[in-house]
Every structure is written in C-alpha cells, then in structure tokens.
Chain A
Amino acid sequence: MRLDDLLSRRLVVLTGKGGVGKSVVGAALAVAAQERGKRVLLVEVAAPVEAARLLGGPPSQGRETEALPGLFTVNLDPAAVMDEYVRHVVRLEMLVRRILDSPIYRRFFAAAPGLKELMVLGKIMVLEEARERLSKKPRWDLVVVDAPATGHGLAFLKVPLAASAAVPVGPIGHNARRVLAMLRDPGRTALVVVAIPEEMAVVEAVQFHRLAAEEIGMEPAALVLNGCHERRFTDEDEAEVLRLTSEGAEGELEPDVPLPAALRAARRQIRRRKLTHFYRTRLRRTLDTPLVSLPFLFREALGLEDVRLLARKLEAA
C-alpha cells in the first residue's frame, strides 16, 4: 500500500466488523499523517471509549480537541449533531430552545430511520469542507473517520444513497447527494476495510468490500489486516520445538521460566502465525486491493508508543 496515496485524500473512512481494532488503526493512520506534518482530525461516532485515551489526549466531549500537536479528536454524539444542525438552521436562540426542549423533536429524532446516520455524515462533510476564516485554507488536511461496525457500517454508508432516492428534493435529499458525491470521489475519500486473521472477520471484509463497490459505489482503497502474528521461529527452530515437545523435554530456560510452558506458548504462536498466513493469502487471492498487515500487540494496555509503532508499520508497508 502506498501510504502517501491514502494520506493524500481529504477523508479516510475505516470500516470493519466489531472487535477488529478499527479505532487503533484509525489512531495509527492519524498519527502517521500527523508525523508528516498534516493537520489531522480523528472522528469517532458515539465511541464508548475514545481514541483520545490511546493518544494520551483529553476526552473530546463532542468538540475537536487537540491530543497531539496538529492531531485533534472528536467523538460525535448523533443527538448533539442534530441539535447543532437545528441551531445552525434556525439561529434564533429562543426558537432553538423551544425546538430542542420539545418532546416531539427528541422522539422524532430517536425514531426517524436514518436521520442519525445522515446527520453524522453531514457533520463529517462539514468538517471535511471547513476552511480557515482568513486564509481560506482547509481547516483539516485529513479527516479520519472510525465508522460504526460493519453490519451497521454498511447501513451507515448506505444512508445517503437511500435518502437521496427516497427524498429527491429539499434539504435532506440535497445534502444526502452532496455526502454521496464526497464518499464516491476517490480523489477525496478513501475507504479502508479493517479485518483480523479470523474466519468471520475475513468473510465479512470480503463481503463488505464487494457491497461497498456494488451498492454504494465506493471502491475500497486499502485493506488493513490487524492483529497479525508473524513468523518468529525458523523452520529448523519450529522442528526443534516439535521435537522437544514430543520428547517431553523438561527443565527451565531461565529461573522460573519452565520449558514445557514455553514450548506450549511457542506451538500456540506457530499455530497463530499459520492462521495469519492462511487468511492473508486468502484475502490477497480474493481481492486485489492493497493489503497491509499490522502486528498483534501483547500489552497490558495500548498507549501512544504502541500507536506510533503501528504508524511506523503503516509507513513501512
């Protein structure tokens, strides 16, 4: 994958099944861009735990907040985005209050299908298009979006298409078409599918890849295979591990590091790296989108150093 190509877009949308580590990958992409001197905004949608925590920054609480120099995060709350939209359109504080306090408004927003998604995507477009007041330069060189998990992720990205067809005229249809145009413009937007080397995640990534192209008209720009286990032992060493195991070798490698436990760990590692290889090969064979692998990290808790490490892996890919 050419990282330059990816980071030259205005908007990168990450998607994938839940639990594949989209937010970590998003943070790593944002850091990679930031390290190139770009001004970056990392957007999450109703994230229970914000990426800011990974980056060591303060929680965003719905506002663009600087986590690292030039790297901002924001966690969008759909209801707050809708409120903001009302404020923007109505402008009269007294009226705004009356609307926002009205139970009809709240319930309408909670129940109207698709409105949340559309509002959030609209907000992302506003962020992508935002310009500095004086210089008129784009406020963000790059906006990275951690989209909700796949099952709904596709629904999330499909909303503008459905809305533009369902409501051809008026502000809803108009904005839906603008969002759609932004998502479909490969010069502006890159879709990145994230997976891990597991059956379901891989099946889903392939499916999502196809549906995104066919149904939404977004061709994924890259695939990220996260949580990879790479080869650690040479073929000879692997043979040695098996030999020692079958012989029931005993003793310690270091004080309190029993060999049998280490052999067990090694066999597990070998099995995992084979699975990684198997699924990577399958993805490569099925899809011709550039694929980049990120390693599984054994950590107590992920932090900025880990994100930087992954960013470097993205650079190297």
Chain B
Amino acid sequence: MAPRLSPAAALERALATKRILVACGSGGVGKTTTAAALAVRAARSGRRVLVCTIDPSRRLATSLGLNQLTGKPRAIELTRLSPPPSRDGALWAMVLDVKSTFDELVTRHTPDAAARERILGNRFYRHISAALAGSHEYMAMEKLLELSADERWELLVLDTPPTRHALDFLEAPDRLLDFLDTSILRWFLRPYFVAGRLTLKVATRTGAIAFRLADRFLGLQFLQDLSEFFLAFESMYDGFKERAARVHELLRESSSGFVMVAGPTALALEEALYFHRRLTEKRMNFVGFVVNRVHTDPAREVRAQRRGRAAVAPELAARLAETLREQQVLARVERRAVARQELDTRERPVLVPELEQDVHDLRGLAEFGELLFSGAPAGARRAAVAR
C-alpha cells in the first residue's frame, strides 16, 4: 500500500486530479467558504474551475465578495491576487437557480411544444417546482450532470444545501429512482384521477377504497392536480430515470470526491462521523475532513517564558487571567471532540483555526486556502490577514 498522505496533501492532490469535488456538512460550519477557498486554490494552481453552490441563501456570492451570483457561470477575476494565478488557471462561480434549471430541463427534454407547455403551464408545477425543499437536491443533481459534461471546466467544486443532514443531497438520485420505480406513479396515472373523468366508475374495489381514502386526507383537487402534473411529465420519466442513474454512477467514479466540512463542536463532528460511515457504505470517495473555526489555546502559541510575577495591576491581571482561562476551556473542549472523531474514523482532519477576520472576499479566500494547506501557525496567520 502506498504511504499515507498527510490530510492536507491528500486534499491538495484531490484538487489537482479530481473532476468533481463535493463539499458536504451540516449548516453553519463554513462549508460554502471552504468550497470557495478550495476552488480558488485549484484555480490559482492552474486548473479551470467552476464552483457552484446550491445553497439557496446565496452565501457563495458573499464569500466571493460579490453582491449577486446567478444561475449562469460567471468568471471571477483572479489577477488581483498576489502572486497571480498561473496562466491556465481560471475560476467561475455560480449559484443553482432551481426554477430556471427546472424550466430548462423541461424545455430540453420534452418531445414537443405541446408537452412542454403542458408542464410549464401546470399550476402545481408553477408553484411547487422552485419553492420547496427537496427540489433543490433534485435540481442540483441535474445541474451536476449537465456541468460535468461541459469541457470548459476541469474541476467542479460543488457546495451542498444547508440541510441538517448532509446525506439528503447524496440520496436524492436514489430517492428519485426509487420514486419513479414504484407503482405510485402508475397509481396516479390511472385515468380516474384525471380531470373530467373523476366521476367515472372506479374499476376495482381496492382502487375504489384507495381512491376514497386519498380523497379524505389529501383531497380530490390535490390528487387531480398531482395526476395532471405526473401525466404532463410522463414523456420525461425515462429521461429522469436515466439521468438519476448516471448521477448515481458519477458520484461513485474515482474522479469524484467528497470533502466533509465540520465545526469543532461535538455535535458537528458526530454528524461528520455518521456521514463518513455512510459515504463509505455507498462506495463514494472520501477525500478529507476539514474542521473549521478551531479555537486555539493561546498558551500553546507563545514560547515558554520567564517565571516570576508579571508587573501588571491586580485588577487587570485578574481579568487577563480570566480571559485566558475561558479561551483555554474552549480550546480543550474542541481538542477533545476532534480527537474522538479522529479515533472513530481513523482520518486525521485538516484543522483550520478561527480566522481573525471573516472571509468575505477573494483575498480572504486565498488566505483561508493557505491556512487550510499549511496549517500555518497563528503568528503567520496574523501577518497574512493584516491589511
């Protein structure tokens, strides 16, 4: 077996060789920032990179220092950074626009204008397609497939939605496949649900019971609209299924990798652990753990000093000591949580100390990247962030 790379080196190699990198993790752990920083890093080292966030709250734009990103990939100017990127490197960024992705999908995959209009004009489709959770995962999947076929980019870095469960996204293809496979569709596609035919006698007894029950707790109008919705999509089912199966494969290819992002709290790491296990079960390539916003112990960052009483006024001295103590408590709690996770997964995480400033521009992202890969000591970090 080849010698094991350090966690940062493994991540670096993934940036240089993979085609798709997916950043996963629960909300609020700096996932978007990490995804953007990885993309900036890869672009600066010469790859053509697209970073796509499917986070509906548009945080990617913020971390790139832009007010707004759209569903169209937009080139990000890297020349402001020093040193400037190597000649071939380039960065694009976009957010997933669920509604327009859905519309495009319909436009592209319907056999004719009539079928297209039937979907786009469907009331259920118009209101439900973009507004709801779940559709984000489905559309992210479709977008990923579309982008992966685009030769303009060598690397796609994908941020995932801020679900409580990072798995929701990974399971979207399977869930869709599962859904399209069941008899539920056939059930809905039975003619008695279709408008205008609701009064027809229901053919079978079981059918009649199911029908009455469904009416009771979902309502005829709902069922009717849903049937029409499904019927309108009938021409697209095979395509859906085929593409969901392709995403399923794509995510398991050796050129795809997953980066798990977590915060240093026991809860966030517990979830990371669970995710790691599921990823392995699903035969997906785990690339590395990134633990963000680690609080360091100030006492470990300064050299051992002369002993003897310091010349500080008593009241200030007490407050200083208290300030140090509370930060040490935090650092200790986090160290323990990280150690436990390491023990459980046998994967050493890349630890990123809390930054002195929030990352919300390109330079901040580049610095974040440096930190990610160097594990630079705090002193160097301060120098890097000074403006």
Q: Quick check: is B319 within 8 A (CB to CB) of the other chain? A: yes
Which B residue's beta carbon lies closest to that of A267? B298
Interface residues on B, range: 35 or more
| Cross-chain contact B218 with A162 (CB below 8 angstroms) | no
Q: Quick check: is A114 within 8 A (CB to CB) of the other chain? A: yes
Q: Enumerate chain A residues within 8 angstroms of B187, measured Cβ to Cβ.
A: 104
Q: Enumerate chain A residues within 8 angstroms of B358, measured Cβ to Cβ.
A: 198-200, 275
CA distance A148 to B133 in the complex (A): 11
Residues of B35-63 contacting chain A, CB below 8 A: 55-59, 62-63
| Cross-chain contact A162 with B127 (CB below 8 angstroms) | yes
| Cross-chain contact A152 with B219 (CB below 8 angstroms) | no
| Cross-chain contact A167 with B124 (CB below 8 angstroms) | yes
Majority secondary structure, B binding face: helix
Q: Mark A226-248, 1 if CB is under 8 A from B, else 0.
A: 00000011000100110010000
**Least CB distance, B131 to chain A, in whole angstroms:** 4
CA distance A104 to B178 in the complex (A): 10
A155 partner, pick from B29, B56, B182, beta carbons under 8 A:
B56
B310 partner, pick from A165, A172, A252, beta carbons under 8 A:
A252
Q: Enumerate chain A residues within 8 angstroms of B209, measured Cβ to Cβ.
A: 95
Q: Enumerate chain A residues within 8 angstroms of B81, measured Cβ to Cβ.
A: none
**Least CB distance, B243 to chain A, in whole angstroms:** 16
| Cross-chain contact A111 with B179 (CB below 8 angstroms) | yes
CA distance A207 to B68 in the complex (A): 12
Known: A149-B27, A258-B299. A90 touches B217 (CB 8 A): yes
CA distance A171 to B182 in the complex (A): 25
| Cross-chain contact B301 with A114 (CB below 8 angstroms) | no
Which B residue's beta carbon lies closest to that of A45? B164
Q: Enumerate chain B residues within 8 angstroms of A199, measured Cβ to Cβ.
A: 62, 358-360
B320 partner, pick from A95, A159, A201, A266, beta carbons under 8 A:
A266
Q: Enumerate chain B residues within 8 angstroms of A253, measured Cβ to Cβ.
A: 310, 312, 317-318, 320-321
Q: Quick check: is B163 within 8 A (CB to CB) of the other chain? A: yes
A19 partner, pick from B28, B33, B217, B219, beta carbons under 8 A:
B28
| Cross-chain contact A162 with B27 (CB below 8 angstroms) | no
**Least CB distance, B142 to chain A, in whole angstroms:** 15
Q: Quick check: is A150 within 8 A (CB to CB) of the other chain? A: yes
| Cross-chain contact A262 with B323 (CB below 8 angstroms) | yes
| Cross-chain contact A150 with B57 (CB below 8 angstroms) | yes
**Least CB distance, B386 to chain A, in whole angstroms:** 12
Which B residue's beta carbon lies closest to that of A208? B57
Per CB-CB distance, the 3 closest pairs between chain A and chain B, nearest first, are A19-B28, A18-B27, A170-B219
What residues make up the interface of A, taking CB atoms closer than 8 Å to B?
Answer: 17-20, 46-49, 85-86, 89-90, 95, 99, 103-104, 107-108, 110-114, 116-117, 148-152, 154-156, 158-159, 161-163, 165-174, 198-201, 203-204, 207-208, 232-233, 237, 240-241, 244, 249-254, 257-266, 268-269, 271, 275, 298-301
What residues make up the interface of B, taking CB atoms closer than 8 Å to A?
Answer: 26-29, 32-33, 55-59, 62-63, 123-124, 126-128, 131-136, 161-164, 175-176, 178-179, 182-184, 187, 209, 213, 216-222, 225-226, 263, 267-268, 270-271, 298-299, 301-313, 316-321, 323-327, 329-330, 333, 356-360
